[in-house]
Amino acid sequence: MTTTAPAAPTAPMTTDRPEHHVIVLFGATGDLARRKLLPGLFHLAKAGLLPEDYRIVGSAPAQYALSDEEFRRHAEDAVREFGLAEPTGASWQAFEDRLSFGAADPEDPQPLLTAVRAAEQAIGGSPRRLCHLAVPPAAFTSVIGMLGDTGLARDTRVIIEKPFGTDLASARALNETVHAVFDESQVFRIDHFLGKESVDNILALRFANGLFEPVWNREHISHVEIDVPETIGIEGRAAFFEETGTYRDMIVTHLFQVLGIVAMEPPASLSAQPLRDEKAKVFNALEPLDPAAVVRGQYDGYRAEPGVDPNSQTETFIALRAQVDNRRWSGVPFYLRSGKSMAKRRQTVTLHFKKPPRRMFPDDAHDGPGAERGNALVIDFDDPGWISARFLTKEPGPAMRLGAAEMTFRYADSFRRRHGLEGYERLLLDAMLGDQSLFTRSDSIERLWEISGGLLAHPRPVEPYAPGSWGPGSIDGLIAPHHWYLPDDE
Ligand code: BG6
Q: What distance in angstroms lies between residue 248's CA and the mean position of ligand 1's atoms?
A: 12
- Say if CB 181 and CB 146 are below 8 A apart: no
Where helices occur in 286-414 by DSSP H, the ranges are 411-414
Question: 218 alpha carbon to ligand 1 midpoint, in Å?
Answer: 31
Q: Which atom of ligand 1 is nearest to the CA of 196?
A: 16
Amino acid at 327: R
197 in ligand 1 pocket by Cβ < 6 Å? no
Alpha-carbon distance of 153 to 12, in angstroms, equals 34
Is 230 touching ligand 1 by the criterion CB < 6 Å? Answer: yes
The edge-to-edge listing of strands for the beta sheet with 2-3 is 2-3, 402-410, 386-394, 376-380, 348-353, 221-229, 333-339, 317-323, 294-299, 463-465
Q: Pick the atom of ligand 1 nearest to 234's CA.
A: 8
Contact 103, 60 (CB under 8 A): yes
Q: What was the pLDDT predicted at 418?
A: 54
CA-CA-CA-CA torsion for 319, 320, 324, 328, nearest 10 degrees? 60
What is d(CA 142, CA 165) in angstroms, rounded to the nearest whole number?
A: 14
Alpha helical stretches, state H, 224-268: 238-246, 256-263
The rounded distance, in Å, linking the Cα atoms of 159 and 89 is 30
Distance between Cα 49 and ligand 1 center (Å)? 24
Which atom of ligand 1 is nearest to 422's Cα?
A: 14
Question: Atom 7, ligand 1: which residue's CA is nearest?
Answer: 250
Probe residue for ligand 1, chosen from 191, 243, 248, 254 as the CB with the greatest number of ligand atoms within 8 Å: 254
Sheet with 156-160, side-by-side order of all strands? 99-101, 54-59, 21-26, 128-133, 156-160, 187-189
Give whole-number Cα distances, 186 to 53, 60, 160, in Å: 21, 22, 11
Parallel, antiparallel, or unpaired for β 2-3 and 21-26? unpaired
Q: Please give the distance, rounded to the nearest whole angstrom, from the Cα atom of residue 165 to the centre of ligand 1.
A: 17
Q: Is 380 in the pocket of ligand 1 (CB under 6 A)?
A: no
**Ligand 1 pocket, 249 CB below 6 A?**
yes
Q: Which helix (H) or strand (E) holds 224?
A: strand 221-229
Q: What is the pLDDT of residue 356?
A: 86
Does residue 458 carry a catalytic annotation? Answer: no
Looking from the CA of residue 246, the nearest atom of ligand 1 is: 8
Q: Is the dihedral of CA 487, 479, 192, 135 positive or negative?
A: negative
C-alpha of residue 250 to centroid of ligand 1, in Å: 7
Q: What is the pLDDT along the chain (490 residues), one digit of tens a residue?
A: 444 444 333 333 446 899 999 999 999 999 999 999 999 999 999 999 999 999 999 999 999 999 999 999 999 999 999 998 899 999 999 999 999 999 999 899 999 999 999 999 999 999 999 999 999 888 999 999 999 999 999 999 999 998 899 999 999 999 999 999 999 999 999 999 999 989 999 999 999 999 999 999 999 999 999 999 999 999 888 998 999 999 999 999 999 999 999 999 999 999 999 999 999 999 999 999 999 999 999 999 999 999 999 999 999 999 999 999 999 999 999 999 999 999 999 999 999 999 888 778 865 554 444 444 579 999 999 988 999 999 999 889 998 888 889 999 998 877 765 557 889 999 999 999 999 999 999 999 999 999 999 999 999 999 999 999 999 999 999 999 999 988 664 3
**Element holding 387 (H helix, E strand):** strand 386-394
pLDDT at 466: 98
Q: How many CA atoms lie within 13 A of 116 on its CB side?
A: 26
Catalytic residue among 21, 43, 223, 254: 254
What is the 282 CA–ligand 1 centroid distance (Å)? 23
pLDDT at position 338: 98
Ligand 1 atom nearest to 250, measured from its CA: 2
